[in-house]
Chain A
Amino acid sequence: MDVSRPGKERLRVAVTGASGDYGKLLLHRLERDPAVESILVLDVARPEGAKVEYHRVDLTRYDAEGELTDALTERPVDALYHLAFLFGPIRNGSLAHELEVIGTMNVLTAAGRARLPRLVVPSMTAVYGARGNNPALLREDAALQGCPHSRFVTDKVEVEGQVRAFRERHPDQRVLVLRFAPVLGPSVDNPATRLLKRGVVPTLLGYDPLWQALHEEDAARALHLALRADASGEFNIVGRGVLPLSGLIQQAGARPLPLPGPLFRAALHTLDVVGAGTLPVALLDYIHYSWVADGERAESALGFIPYHHVRDAAAALKRS
Chain B
Amino acid sequence: MAKGVLGNDPFQRGAASRDGGGAKESPADAKPARKEAAKKAAAPAKQPARAKSGNGKAPSASAKKSASAKAVASSGGSRKAAAPHEAAEVKTATAAKAGGRKATASHAAEGGEATRAPKAEGHKTPASQVAAEAKPSGAAKAGAHKQAATHEAVETTGAPDSTRGARAAERQHDAAPPAPHTAQPTESVDEDPVLPLREPAAPVAPRPPPPPRKPVVSDEMGARTPKQREVDHALAEALAAEVAEATAKVAVDEALERRHGEEQDVDRLMATEMATEIAEAAVEEVLDHSPPTQNPERERELASQVAAQVAEAAAVVAVAEVLDRHATTPPAQVPPDEDGDQEERAANSAEDEEDTEGFQDTFDLEAEAEGGFGPGEDDEREDDEDDDAPGSLSDTSGLELSVTLSVTAPEEALETGDTSALEAEVEVPDATRDELPRAQRGGLSLVPPVGETERPREPFFTEQLREPEAPRPLAQRAAGMLSLARDIAGQALASEGLGRAMGAMNGLMQAMRAGLGTGGGAHIDEYGKDPSLVERLDPVLEFLYSQYWRVSVQGADHVPQGAAILVANHSGALPYDGLVMSLVITRERPDLREPRWLVEDQVFHAPVLGTLFNRLGAVRACPENALRLLDEQRPLVVFPEGYQALSKPFAERYRLKRFGRGGFVKLALRTGAPIVPVAIVGGEETSPLLGRLPASFLGLPYVPLTPLGPLPLPAKWSVRFGEPIAMDGLSPEAADDLGEVQRLTERTRESIQGMVQSLLRERRSVFTG
Q: Which residues of A contact B (CB under 8 A)?
A: 132-133, 135-137, 139, 141, 203-208, 210, 215, 240-247, 249-251, 253, 256, 258, 261-262, 289-290, 292, 294, 296, 299-300, 305, 307-309, 311-312, 315-316, 318-319
Contact = CB atoms under 8 A, between A and B. Distances in A.
Contact of A203 (B57, B517, B619, B620): B517
A226 to B, nearest CB: 20
A261 B610 CA distance: 15
A312 B522 contact: no
Contacts of A207: 517, 607, 610-611
Interface string B696-707: 011100000000
Interface in B129-188: 146-147, 150-151
Contact of B17 (A256, A262, A300): A300
B524 interface: yes
Given A210-B526, A253-B74, A261-B607, A135 B517 contact: no
Interface stretch (B59-67, B329-337, B669-677): B59-67
A296 B14 contact: yes
Contact of A311 (B57, B611, B628): B57
B416 interface: no
Contacts of B71: 315
Interface of B: 10, 13-14, 17-18, 54, 57-61, 64, 67, 71, 74-75, 146-147, 150-151, 514-522, 524-528, 530, 601, 604-608, 610-611, 615, 619-620, 622, 624-625, 628, 697-699
A292 B516 contact: no
A242 B516 contact: no
A319 B61 contact: yes
Given A244-B519, A251-B522, A258-B516, A312 B60 contact: yes
B74 A251 contact: yes
Contact of B520 (A247, A290, A316): A247
A243 B61 CA distance: 16
A305 to B, nearest CB: 6
A308 B75 CA distance: 16
A239 to B, nearest CB: 12
A244 B605 contact: no
A248 B738 CA distance: 45
Given A135-B622, A311-B57, 10 more contacts: A136-B619, A137-B628, A206-B516, A256-B517, A256-B518, A299-B18, A311-B522, A312-B60, A315-B58, A316-B61
A203 B699 CA distance: 16
A289 B517 CA distance: 12
Contact of A136 (B521, B606, B611, B625): B625
Contacts of A208: 514, 517-519, 611
B607 A311 contact: no
Given A136-B619, A206-B611, A319-B61, A242 B74 contact: no
Contact of A247 (B67, B515, B522): B522
A109 B72 CA distance: 52
Contacts of B625: 135-136
A311 B55 CA distance: 9
Contacts of A258: 516-518
A315 B61 contact: yes
Contacts of B10: 139, 141
A138 to B, nearest CB: 9
17 contacts: A132-B604, A136-B527, A136-B619, A207-B607, A208-B519, A208-B611, A242-B528, A243-B524, A244-B517, A246-B521, A250-B520, A258-B518, A296-B18, A299-B18, A300-B17, A309-B58, A312-B57
A136 B621 CA distance: 10
A141 B607 CA distance: 29
Q: Which 10 A-B pairs have the closest CB atoms?
A: A206-B607, A315-B61, A135-B624, A208-B517, A247-B520, A206-B608, A296-B14, A250-B520, A296-B18, A247-B521
Given A204-B517, A300-B13, A309-B58, A132 B526 contact: no
A141 B146 CA distance: 30
Contacts of B60: 215, 308, 312, 315-316, 319
Given A261-B699, A300-B13, A136 B520 contact: no
A49 to B, nearest CB: 25
B520 A246 contact: yes
A289 B610 CA distance: 11
Contacts of B521: 243-244, 246-247
Contacts of A247: 519-522, 524
A210 B10 CA distance: 24
Contact of B519 (A136, A137, A246, A305): A246
B605 A132 contact: yes
A204 B13 CA distance: 35
Contacts of A242: 524-526, 528
A245 B151 CA distance: 23
A319 B517 contact: no
B722 to A, nearest CB: 28
Nearest to B611: A208
B151 A240 contact: yes
A141 B13 CA distance: 15
A152 B61 CA distance: 31
A267 to B, nearest CB: 15
Nearest to B527: A136
Given A136-B624, A246-B518, A319 B64 contact: yes
B48 to A, nearest CB: 18
Most B CB within 10 A of own CB, among A244, A294, A307, A318: A244
A307 B524 contact: no
Most chain-A CB neighbours within 10 Å: which of B58, B147, B150, B604? B58
Nearest to A292: B526
Contact of B524 (A137, A204, A244): A244
B162 to A, nearest CB: 15
A132 B522 CA distance: 23
Nearest to A185: B60
Contacts of B530: 244
A249 B517 CA distance: 11
A116 B622 CA distance: 41
Given A261-B698, A319-B64, A250 B74 contact: yes
A261 B697 CA distance: 9
A241 B27 CA distance: 11
Given A135-B622, A210-B528, A205 B18 contact: no
A319 B515 CA distance: 29
Nearest to B629: A136
B345 to A, nearest CB: 55
A245 B517 contact: yes
B522 A243 contact: yes
B409 to A, nearest CB: 66
A2 B699 CA distance: 53
A230 to B, nearest CB: 17
A57 B274 CA distance: 102
A193 to B, nearest CB: 16
Residue of B17, B516, B518 with highest tally of chain A CB at under 10 A: B518
B67 A244 contact: no
A294 B14 contact: yes
B160 to A, nearest CB: 18
Contacts of A133: 601, 622
B253 to A, nearest CB: 65
B516 A205 contact: yes
A213 B18 CA distance: 19
Contacts of B611: 206-208
A271 B703 CA distance: 31
B88 to A, nearest CB: 25
B135 to A, nearest CB: 14
Contacts of B624: 135-137, 139
A244 B526 CA distance: 10
Nearest to B626: A135
A215 B376 CA distance: 70
Contacts of B17: 296, 300
A305 B697 CA distance: 43
Contacts of A250: 74, 520
Nearest to B147: A307
